[in-house]
Amino acid sequence: MQPSSSLSIHTSSCKILIVEDEYIIANNLEIILTNAGYTVQGTANSVAKALDLIGQQTPDMVLLDIYLKGNETGIDLAKQLEEINIPFIYISANDNQSVLEAVKATQPSGYIVKPFRDKDVLTTLEIGRYRHSHSVEVKLREEKALQIALTEAMSDKGSWESRLLTVARLLQKHIPFDFLTVRQKRAHATHDFNFYRVGFEEYQVLGVRDILQMTHSKIEPPVLWPDGLLSNEPVRYSEREMEDLLLQDPYIRLVAKTFRLQSALAMSFALGNGEQFHICLLNRNPQPYLVSHQALLGRLEQPLLLTLERVMAYEEVARLSEKLKQENSYLQEEVKAFVNFEEIIGKSESLLHVFNLVTQVAPTDTTVLVMGESGTGKELIARAIHNQSLRKDKILVKINCATLPANLIESELFGHEKGAFTGAIEKRTGKFELAHGGTIFLDEIGELPLELQAKLLRVLQEKEIERIGGRAPIKTDVRVIAATNRDLETEVAEGRFRMDLFYRLAAFPLTLPALRERKEDISLLAHFFARKLTRKQGKPFLGFSDTALDELINYTWPGNIRELENVIEQAVILSNGQTPLALGRPLQKRSFALNAPPSQPENNKTFAQATAGPPKNLSEMKQMQRISEREYILSILNQTNGRIRGAGGAAELLNLRPTTLEYRIEKMGIRKMLTVQSPDS
């Protein structure tokens, strides 16, 4: 009987591997499946041959006899198929009770009794495929719920011990263990947390000292996870492989011996600030951990890492705040007046205006575009908006659009399905989906490629995303904060940024003032950085020399606050600790200082040069408001004999990109001063 066309379409994409040592039965199965529209990947009469075929191409289902050629049985193969998540159906005439018990323990998708009819095979196969796909959906939902629960547990405001105890209870349901040990490694301290399972939902919390007292042992200090032993990929240790771990780590050797632990599953997390978390689940069973356990722990790495980054950032802020409280009364008043707005220091009118705008927009869900030069604190403002919003108890996900390769940005933002493209070996949750209910901060949004700008616009408009390779959109509830140091209006005019996306992002624009525009804050910032850096380096802080403060206040700071901190750090390094701080080198000689137009004879000065203290770039010119932008550009073009590009060209003197300057020249109707340009113009 030939299969119907609809059945053929439904089954043709399903690949079946037949593992049967009787040729006649294997051939009969192949005929039945082929006639029904299935693709038979091949037949194997032994476990070794079957694994070889699976290594070449992964089947969707395996029809599996119990007794095969060689020493290994179908049950042995079933255990390996279960680990790599390939469904299988037994085909056997065996009715031995002990064998049937072993069969049930491997959790097959079905069982066909020999001899069989065509209908028996096809019906059992369809039921098995449905059961497997349904179980996969259930596992995905459970894993998503686990990720959310772990994130909430780690974000709790309780102690690390209580948070990790909640994590232990959550993990137990998915990755069973008898002993869980977690080590938090910081630059100057190490903290250990141990949870020994004594009941179904009962755990004994043990410190390292508790274990040493219980065993009357002395290990000073306990060495947990020697360098190079673990990576950020989960590692399984069976009873035999545990010997390598125990030989290198006396503390784990002591724990394993005391509690009779014979296997382990371990992984490390390295945070951006240099801190590390090491987690090790140990079990009394010699072989308890499957590939599926290892894969699950690997998939949990990214949400755990993001949560730990956020938690550690908050803890670092709290730690610094506590240390600041111990300073003298003058410093306490200074901190109280100027530091408490999300780590941002200053009292200038322009900065207080930004604070006021942040306070007004934070409680809303409005999209915010934070603009300003590099080093002005755009990320701190984004964090301030999130922390004062109604979403402050949810996650703040940060992504820098400039640091990701163009071919990975879409996957990072929206996620992808397994097999969506080459290298997509598993499903990935995107940053938008991860930030559901919270806030996403898109830094350097001006670097986003044009093709992805359209997709981001759709997300902002429709409030839904679609994974790469996905079949259906996913609703999202995310507040978007974007930041850029580019002039997006110019980018729009020059065709590098979509106008509709710009207006969608700029629902509430915030422009952060450059440091040279808030000179009254320079002294505050300098003193703050100096106190912090002298404490870090163990030197006394004796203030600044008058000359150093004058130089700091009068400098133009093209690198803004980030540059100021670097200058202060250099001064602290070179300080002898016995005199007030002086600068390490003259600021005007720094290679990235703003360029002033070269001097010219008195009788050849332009209009801009004729005014006292000419502006050094367009931004400063606008602030001084002495001449129009057109007049100033004309004066610089006259000074460079019409040359725009290259060293000493008008673009360099104006601190603009050549393409931006050419656009403005065309827009303003300026005619170049010379009809003949140099080759590089």
Read off the pLDDT of residues 577-589 as tens digits, 9 standing for 90 and up. Answer: 888 888 866 775 4
Rounded CA gap, 506 and 227, in Å?
47
Read off the pLDDT of residues 412-459 as tens digits, 9 standing for 90 and up. Answer: 888 888 877 777 777 788 888 888 889 999 999 988 888 888 888 888
Lowest mean pLDDT of 101-110, 147-156, 225-234, name the range: 225-234
The predicted structure's pLDDT at residue 442 = 92
The more confident residue out of 356 and 236 is 356
Residue 7 in this model has a pLDDT that exceeds 70: no
Read off the pLDDT of residues 315-335 as tens digits, 9 standing for 90 and up. Answer: 666 665 554 544 443 333 333
The predicted structure's pLDDT at residue 481 = 95
What 3-state class would DSSP assign to 595? coil
Lowest mean pLDDT of 126-135, 325-334, 570-579, name the range: 325-334
The mean pLDDT of 255-280, rounded to a whole number, is 82
Q: What is the DSSP string of 99-161?
A: HHHHHHHT--SEEEESS--HHHHHHHHHHHHHHHHHHHHHHHHHHHHHHHHHHHHHT-SS-HH
Q: For the chain, give the percent of residues with pLDDT over 90.
A: 16
Number of alpha carbons in the 13 Å side-chain half-sphere of residue 493: 13
The predicted structure's pLDDT at residue 135 = 74
The predicted structure's pLDDT at residue 92 = 87
Q: For the chain, give the percent of residues with pLDDT over 70.
A: 81
Cis check for the bond before 115: say yes or no (omega within 30 of 0).
Answer: yes
The predicted structure's pLDDT at residue 9 = 39
The predicted structure's pLDDT at residue 336 = 38
Rounded CA gap, 405 and 490, in Å?
24
Read off the pLDDT of residues 638-660 as tens digits, 9 standing for 90 and up. Answer: 778 778 888 778 887 877 777 77
Number of alpha carbons in the 13 Å side-chain half-sphere of residue 120: 13
173: which 2 tokens?
């349901």
The mean pLDDT of 533-562, rounded to a whole number, is 87
**184 secondary structure, DSSP code:** E
The mean pLDDT of 4-30, rounded to a whole number, is 76
Is 424 within 8 Å of 462 (Cβ atoms)?
no
Read off the pLDDT of residues 95-127 as tens digits, 9 standing for 90 and up. Answer: 788 888 888 878 888 899 888 999 989 999 988
Lowest mean pLDDT of 325-339, 397-411, 481-495, 554-568, name the range: 325-339
Q: What is the pTM of this model?
A: 0.40
Read off the pLDDT of residues 37-78 as tens digits, 9 standing for 90 and up. Answer: 999 999 999 999 999 999 899 898 999 998 899 889 998 898
- Which range in 289-293, 508-512, 534-538, 666-670 is most confidently predicted, on average pLDDT? 508-512
Q: What is the dihedral of CA 522, 527, 528, 534, to 10 degrees?
A: 140
Domains, the chain, in order of start with CATH, read: 5-132 (3.40.50.2300), 155-309 (3.30.450.80), 349-511 (3.40.50.300), 515-589 (1.10.8.60), 602-668 (no CATH)
Q: Write the single-letter amino acid at 382.
A: A
> Which among 508, 484, 279, 525 is positioned nearest to 401, based on CA atoms?
484
The predicted structure's pLDDT at residue 675 = 37
The mean pLDDT of 247-262, rounded to a whole number, is 79
Sign of CA dihedral 516, 520, 523, 528: negative
Q: Write the single-letter amino acid at 171.
A: L
Is 484 within 8 Å of 506 (Cβ atoms)?
no
The predicted structure's pLDDT at residue 627 = 52
Q: Phi, psi (5° rounding) for residue 91?
A: -125, 110
